Amino acid sequence: MHILIKNKKLSFKHYKVKCAVGKRGIGIKRKEGDKITPKGQFKILNILYRKDRVPKLVSKIKKKPIKKNFGWCDDPKSKSYNKLIKFPFKHSAEKLFRKDNIYDIILVLNFNSKPVNKNKGSAIFIHVAKRNYKNTLGCIAVNKINLIKMIRIIDNSTVVKIS
């Protein structure tokens, strides 16, 4: 199965839904913080989710509940760059356990993961969109209900194509 992201639309099976992408659009990601959603084909490594907000998440893909001390390292100087970390942490990292709901569900894509190239960009996720589908810092964001529907259908062979 394929998930296709193009022109702020995400398509899978017979669904076509609105999505948000990076503030600077879809293109070639050159560095950390460039606000570009990378073009390419990616696999979904796993799903991180807030068990307190999404108690019965059904998925064929490996999932892991987000704990209060979870973060994602965005510091190219760290050996943990572009990886899940636990706070306290001495380098820069984004908090995953948030007050807002955008990280209630996170599909972690394999962008810049094997090998990890320092400063090429980290944390390309598919996550919950803000109400107004505000641009992201490089991730893809969709409505929470649509994300849950998608997760029920996808599996480990699903390819995410961003063009």
Residues 137-159: tens digit of each pLDDT: 999 999 999 999 999 999 999 99
Determine the pLDDT at residue 18.
97
Domains, the chain, ordered by start: 2-162 (2.40.440.10)
Residues 81-135: tens digit of each pLDDT: 999 999 999 999 999 999 999 999 999 999 999 999 999 999 999 999 999 999 9
Nearest in space to 142 (alpha carbons), one of 39, 42, 15: 15
pTM: 0.97
Sign of CA dihedral 40, 102, 61, 11: negative
Long-range contacts of 128-133 (CB under 8 A, 24+ apart): 128/101, 128/102, 128/103, 128/104, 129/18, 129/19, 129/20, 129/102, 130/20, 130/100, 130/102, 133/8, 133/18, 133/19, 133/20
